[in-house]
Structure 1
Amino acid sequence: MRIPGESRIILKNLAVEYYTVAEGYLEIKNYTKAAEYYKLAMRNKDLYLTSYYKLARCYALSKDWKNAAESYEYLLSLDPDNVMLKTSLAYITAMNGNIDDAILKYRKLLEDNPFDESILENYVALLINVGRGEDAEESFFVLKEKFPDNKQITGFAQKLSEIVDNFDASRKDFKENQNTDKTKPEDKQL
């Protein structure tokens, strides 16, 4: 004869065990197996969101871009202001081959988070990797100006010199060259 509530306790303990097994697989980078066990752990409502997030991460780490995108979109529907989730989804979107959508996501992220170095760095990397050198050039100079100690600047400069004609990373007058309105601010009517 079973004690009342015993089945519920057994299932809860089992879900905790599944979660622990999933964490072990995640630690040894067996993302497919970890995902299987996170799904099982999600049966416990107390572990559901944590397991779901880890499942989404496993999809991304195993390069299952379709499931990763769906999972991160769901998580974003629960927490629409989460910058980390938005950044992950922008990256996943790019890796899924939806470059124009990924660029739009990164632009929106930069608009909302202009002082986030990693977002700007990832945006420049994306533009360079898809061969949009002229677009990357402007963001490169923003990165260089705002974050002069960024470790990617030298590598980005080298790549940009290969894909952009007359690229000069040492140029300090980039903004002035890009400004088509040559009137001085004091000449403009307010």
Structure 2
Amino acid sequence: MTNINTSFKKVFFSFICLMAFTALSVTTGCQTSNAFKVPGESSIITKNIASEYFTIAEGYADLKKYDKAAEYYKYAMKNKSLRLSAYYKMARCYALAKDYKNALEAYEKLLKLDPDNKEIKLSLAYIQGMSGNTEKALNSYEVLMQEFPEDSSVLVNYINVLIYIGRVEDAEKYLKILIEKFPDCSEIKTLSDSINSQIDNPDSNLGKKEENQEKSN
């Protein structure tokens, strides 16, 4: 409860600051041509406003209002020094808000900017799966397993996608590999239960199988 109150206060205070900066910006814009202008004043105001947008976005993210957070991170990108950080956080908020269309576009751009970033690659593969591009997600995870063979999370997510599209035999095969390589992995039981559920109810994922085949074609 304390964290929620703190986040709310952060958003509220930033809104007050933003209104003050906006008022200052309007006043500056209404100056006559003969009025004295401070060099760089306009860019400083814009930068300060963008910084307040970033703070508001952080507050919304803390409150798990990810759609609003993404909106304000986008505004914060007007500040060049915050642009990359704001873009990354905006992309993450799109994913957390399950806005996979915008998340996919954002993470693809991030990967072009930082092609060796492991976390971006992992996030992109996950979003591909969640947005229905399961075959593309599987291909991404197969590449990631070769790049990061000692990262159990890659293998876990790969198995989850296999289960999601109903490829139970493949899921069982890779679960055995997971158990052999990472016997202490906390996800083993959950994955095993999911696979057994698929075996006991083979028709439960029939719709997803057909949907995946249509998208692959």
Q: Could you tell me the TM-score, scaled by structure 2's length?
A: 0.73
Partner residue in 1 for 2:123? 88
- Mapped to 1, the partners of 2:197 and 2:97 lie a distance apart of 31
Give yes or no for the alignment of 1:163 onto 2:183. no
Which consecutive unaligned segments of at least 5 residues does structure 1 have? Answer: 166-190
Structure with the higher fraction of residues in helix conformation: 2
Q: State how 1:1-190 maps to structure 2 within 5 Å.
A: 1-164=36-199
Do 1:25 and 1:34's aligned partners in 2 also have CA atoms closer than 8 Å? yes
- Mapped to 1, the partners of 2:53 and 2:189 lie a distance apart of 45
CA positional deviation for 1:153: 1.1
- Mapped to 2, the partners of 1:111 and 1:8 lie a distance apart of 47
Aligned residues: 165
CA positional deviation for 1:36: 1.4
- Mapped to 2, the partners of 1:162 and 1:54 lie a distance apart of 36
Residue identity in the other structure for 1:33: K
- Mapped to 2, the partners of 1:21 and 1:15 lie a distance apart of 10
Paired residue secondary structure (1:47): helix
Identity %: 54
- Mapped to 1, the partners of 2:118 and 2:101 lie a distance apart of 20
Which consecutive unaligned segments of at least 5 residues does structure 2 have? Answer: 1-35, 201-217
- Mapped to 1, the partners of 2:189 and 2:91 lie a distance apart of 33
- Mapped to 2, the partners of 1:141 and 1:8 lie a distance apart of 58
CA positional deviation for 1:39: 1.0
| Deviation sequence 1:132-155 (CA, Å, 0-9, x none) | 111111110111011111112122
Partner residue in 1 for 2:11? none
Paired residue secondary structure (2:150): coil
Paired residue secondary structure (2:186): coil
- Mapped to 2, the partners of 1:94 and 1:6 lie a distance apart of 47
Do 1:39 and 1:55's aligned partners in 2 also have CA atoms closer than 8 Å? yes
CA positional deviation for 1:164: 4.7
- Mapped to 1, the partners of 2:100 and 2:82 lie a distance apart of 24
Residue identity in the other structure for 1:129: Y
Kindly tell me: are residues 163 and 33 of structure 1, through their superposed partners in 2, closer, same or farther at Cα, counting changes over 3 Å? Answer: closer
Paired residue secondary structure (2:39): coil
Residue identity in the other structure for 1:143: L
Query: Which protein, 1 or 2, shows the higher relative CO under an 8 Å CA cutoff with sep ≥ 6?
Result: 2
Residue identity in the other structure for 1:10: I
- Mapped to 2, the partners of 1:162 and 1:14 lie a distance apart of 52
| Deviation sequence 1:22-59 (CA, Å, 0-9, x none) | 10011101111111111111011111100000110111
Q: Could you tell me the TM-score, scaled by structure 1's length?
A: 0.83
| Deviation sequence 1:93-124 (CA, Å, 0-9, x none) | 00000111111111111011111011111111
- Mapped to 1, the partners of 2:199 and 2:157 lie a distance apart of 19
Q: State the superposition RMSD in angstroms.
A: 1.3
